[in-house]
Amino acid sequence: MSLDRILSLISASLIAGILLVGGLMMLASERALLRQAQTTQIEDASTVLSTVMDQAATLSASHAETIASNPAVADLLASGDRQALLERMLPLYGLLNASAGINVMHFHTAEMTSFLRVWEPENFGQDLSTFRPMVVAVNRGRRTQKGLELGVKGLSLRAVSPIVTPQGLAGTVEIGVDLTSLLHLAKAATGADYALFLDPSVRVGTDGSSLEGKAGLVLETATEADFFTRLQQASPIRMSQAPQLSRYTADGGNVAVMGRPLLDYSGNLIGTIVIARDLSSLESHLSRALVTIVAVSICGFLIAYPVFMTAIRALLLRPLAELAACCADDADQAPALPASSRAREYLELRAGIEKLQTQLRAARGEGEPG
């Protein structure tokens, strides 16, 4: 390989390497920003769910207080007329269920026993004081309480209000929101998927007793049950007192998964809220950036190689060839070539060689016999 090709290849490779290293440094910075953006997105999705649940709890409390303040409802509960109370509340329950996702409307006696489950009127009479701390708190404090609590219906976002008559406490009324509808509402706002996993030991049977479950957390509700079932099989969901962020590869895409502690009304850890968000769109941006960096490096090499070759030939090799011609044995018979370079070093070197040639010619002339 000729000298000009070697020097051009080295120079062009150096330029391409510099471009590649600079691009990779930018890529590393973009990757760090991407991780931060992913974390921010999943945290925002978590915040949206918390906001939705807070608003739903407030709405449930408002409905419960409205029902509790109805004198007719208080009289029916105080008189123990279950059938009349059912006939009065069933249309309202249907309306709230269709419009607000209300799936629990439950009346309790002052003795904290179940009086009427509007959605399941044949199931009543259980002692709620042993497993419903929210009912106990309202019964004793006579103030509305709201929060997550497990019951016969399962986990619900509930609000309980006291029903008071002039004679005293007639009982309490409970309104609960279907959590699945809240998860779908949060998904519509964020694009993330949500699931609630429960500790099997805290689940409650129809008689209020604790249910024995299998080891590991149990999926209570989710926006995409199949996806979270696969996620649980691939990487078991665990309870934790602090949020945990991980990543999961599913169906060829990357998914960010955050687990948050699920606390009930009493502050007990009963499971985990799992939030999953597809990161494929953000990851594709990083892949495109990598392709761009490689393409720029290759283009830099292809552009630099001929430029350096032309420059090396013009600035180095051609002047060297002229100097070599000046030093040739027959240079004194050849006509002087014009200087192809105006570089000071080249001109000085050429002048020195020409001076040396002149001296050599003079010496040869003096040494020849007359």
Predicted confidence at residue 355, as pLDDT, reads: 75
DSSP codes, 284-305: HHHHHHHHHHHHHHHHHHHHHH
pLDDT score for 154: 78
Average pLDDT over residues 246-251: 73
Residues 64 and 156 in one domain: yes
Reported as a single tens digit per residue, the pLDDT across 151-198 is: 777 788 999 999 999 889 999 999 999 899 899 999 999 889 999 999
Is residue 193 located within the same domain as residue 275?
yes
Please check whether residue 29 lies inside any domain of the structure: no
CATH of the domain at 83: 3.30.450.20
State the average pLDDT over residues 77-99.
Answer: 94
Residue 125 to residue 108: CA distance in whole angstroms: 9
In the chain, % helix, strand, coil (3-state, to 5) comes to 55, 25, 25
- The pLDDT-based confidence of 334 (bands split at 50, 70, 90) is very low
Same domain, 173 and 72: yes
Q: Determine the pLDDT at residue 211.
A: 52
Query: Which of the two residues, 366 and 131, has the higher pLDDT score?
Result: 131
User: CB of 118 within 8 A of CB of 106?
Assistant: yes
Q: Which of 255, 279, 303 is the last residue of a domain?
A: 279
Q: Could you tell me the pTM of the whole model?
A: 0.66
Regarding whether 142 and 74 lie in a shared domain, the answer is: yes
Q: Which has more confidence, 312 or 169?
A: 169
Instruction: List the one residue out of 258, 101, 267, 247 whose CA is nearest residue 177.
Output: 101
Residues 274 and 293 in one domain: no
Residues 6+ positions from 329 with CB-CB distance below 8 Å: none
341: Cβ contacts below 8 Å, ≥ 6 apart: 314, 315, 318, 319, 347
User: Do 291 and 272 fall within a single domain?
Assistant: no
**What is the crossing angle of helices 280-312 and 3-68, to 10°?**
160
> What confidence score (pLDDT) does residue 359 get?
73
Query: How many distinct structural domains can be found in the chain?
Result: 3
Of 215-224, 237-246, 254-263, 318-327, least confident by mean pLDDT is 318-327
* 142 Ramachandran zone, left/alpha/beta (phi>0; psi -120 to 50): left
Q: How confident is the model at residue 310 (pLDDT cuts 50, 70, 90)?
A: confident
Task: Please give the Cα distance from 149 to 172 (Å, whole number).
Answer: 16
pLDDT class of 202 with cuts at 50, 70, 90: confident
Please indicate, yes or no, whether residues 77 and 160 belong to a single structural domain of this protein.
yes
Neighbours of 139 (CB within 10 A): 21
Look up the domain containing 340 and give its range: 3-22+285-367
- 161 and 192 part of one domain: no
Of 290, 283, 287, 289, the closest CA to residue 41 belongs to 283
Beta bridge partners of 155: 150
| Residues 63 and 94 occupy one common structural domain | yes
pLDDT over 80 at 264, yes or no: yes
Q: What are phi and psi of 226, to 5 degrees?
A: -65, -45
Residue bearing the bigger pLDDT, 44 or 214: 44
**Within-domain flag for 41:** yes
Region 255-273: what's the mean pLDDT? 88
Confidence of residue 340 (pLDDT cuts 50, 70, 90): low
Residues 248 and 339 placed together within one structural domain of the fold: no
Which pLDDT score, from 0 to 100, does residue 134 have? 93
Q: What is the CATH number of the domain that holds 252?
A: 3.30.450
* DSSP element (H, E) containing 262: strand 253-263
* Position 194, amino acid: Y
Same domain for 43 and 71, yes or no, is no
